[in-house]
Amino acid sequence: MATRSTADPRCVVILLLCGMAGCSDADSGPPLVVQRDSAGIEIVEALRPLWGDSSLWHIDPEPLLDLTTSGDAPQHEFFRVRGVQQHADGSIVLADRQAREIRRYSSAGAFLGALGGRGRGPGEFRNLQRVEIVADSAFALDFDGRVTVIGPDMEFARVFDLPSQVSDIHFLGEGTLLAEAFMWEGLEEVANQLIRPSVALLLFDLEGVPIDSLGVRPGSESYSYNLVEDYGDAPALFPRAGQVATLGARIFYGSSDLMQVEEMDPSGRVVRLLRIPGYPLDLTDAQIAAERNSRLDMDLPPGMTLPPFIRRIVEALPAPVTRPAYAEMLVDPSGAVWLELYRGGSEQDRPQEWLVLDADGTWLGTVEVPDGFRVTDVTMETVLGVWRDEVDVEHPQVLRLTRGEM
């Protein structure tokens, strides 16, 4: 990936965007965006937010639809929900990992059908991971790369196997799936240090037949430990994790090391970089200490204490210099890139915010999410996700998104 410009400085194009921000605003500070080309890659650097300190987009906490309250049957009880998404007809599909079911609901919240259950047979799941809408069907990713295809009427269609390391799938259109596969080779014997396995981006057709490899990218960071009492992987302090999102045939990847996103074409070639240079990510000693203490002060059942070996693991976790730039990435139908700003376990009292880059790379600002709501998808007028109430009951919901204008 090229990061050094080879373009003639005279060809650098500065986009003042006076029509959007107002010429007086542009005259009072740096330009909103600087754009240039480097080795055939378009680089868009956003220097300041268009919205300033305010937010022109708003998510209404009062749901348009709550699937927990739209019915009283067991199919309206949820636990460990993943992938709340919306079909073109407005119906909702989701994965309930506890029930090991893929469920579908009408746009009004009526239960339309489900497929699943515990097992290894057709239409059953061992450890349901992910659901992806593919045209009018749904593709459910199970443990070890097994994919179950579910038809429009929630009927079992077929099953095929991807590599066992596949952890996520994305529909690219025109009969193509993008799969993320962790690569652990060479890390099996690494102990008592941070590790970050690579992720291979692989293309398959809708029958699971390999098409191509788009290369590898940094994956998720963890701490590998090997003690007398136990061995395994533990969450790192402020762990970085690679994020992948798609829009049609466009592929977006971010390592979360910086406030930067790569856009790739279907061949895996990087065609554009969106970045906010100098975005503040430095961590203080106090923040690191608070994060470490949050691991040691976890709520435990009465009479139970933290095992000493766990305390040793937490105390041994390396102190990072910077925090991840973001914890999740989504791309809405307009092409705007949504980045969930990272919050550590000790920072959960802070508002959950998503930084938004417009389709042309303009840094719009941040959008605050209602307390307890986890975003899974964004449309032009709604935000889908799961809200946990005060007694920790999960509510798959659709919230209204209002996009204000300057």
The per-residue pLDDT for range 103-162, each reduced to its tens digit, is 999 999 999 999 999 999 999 999 999 999 999 999 999 989 999 999 999 999 999 999
The residue type of 182 is: F
Residue 216 lies in a domain: yes
CATH number at residue 132: 2.120.10.30
% the chain with pLDDT above 70 = 93
Q: How confident is the model at residue 24 (pLDDT cuts 50, 70, 90)?
A: very low
Q: How confident is the model at residue 16 (pLDDT cuts 50, 70, 90)?
A: very low
Mean pLDDT of the region 381-391: 97
Residue 193 lies in a domain: yes
Q: How confident is the model at residue 51 (pLDDT cuts 50, 70, 90)?
A: very high
Residue 11 lies in a domain: no
Residue 49 lies in a domain: yes
> Would you call 186 exposed, middle or buried from its count of C-beta atoms within 10 A (0-12, 13-18, 19+)?
exposed
The per-residue pLDDT for range 319-356, each reduced to its tens digit, is 999 999 999 999 999 999 999 999 999 999 999 999 99
Residue 320 lies in a domain: yes
Q: Which residues pair with 340 in a beta bridge?
A: 328, 354
Q: How confident is the model at residue 184 (pLDDT cuts 50, 70, 90)?
A: confident
Number of domains in the chain: 1
Q: How far apart, in Å, are the Cα atoms of 207 and each of 75, 121, 122, 128?
A: 30, 18, 15, 19
Q: State the Rg of the chain over Cα.
A: 22
Phi, psi of 390 (to 5 degrees): -65, -20
Residue 310 and residue 230 in contact, taking contact as beta carbons nearer than 8 Å: no
Given this model, what pLDDT does residue 311 score? 92
Residue 33 lies in a domain: yes
Q: How confident is the model at residue 191 (pLDDT cuts 50, 70, 90)?
A: confident
Residue 78 lies in a domain: yes
Residues 6+ apart with CB under 8 A from 72: none
Residue 172 lies in a domain: yes
Token pair recorded at residue 62: 């009062």
> Would you call 187 exposed, middle or buried from its count of C-beta atoms within 10 A (0-12, 13-18, 19+)?
middle
| Strand order across the beta sheet in which 260-264 lies | 13-15, 33-38, 41-46, 270-275, 260-264, 250-254, 243-247
pTM over 0.85? The answer is yes
The per-residue pLDDT for range 71-108, each reduced to its tens digit, is 999 999 999 999 999 999 999 999 999 999 999 999 99
The per-residue pLDDT for range 348-371, each reduced to its tens digit, is 999 999 999 999 999 999 999 999
- Which residues span the domain enclosing 295? 20-403
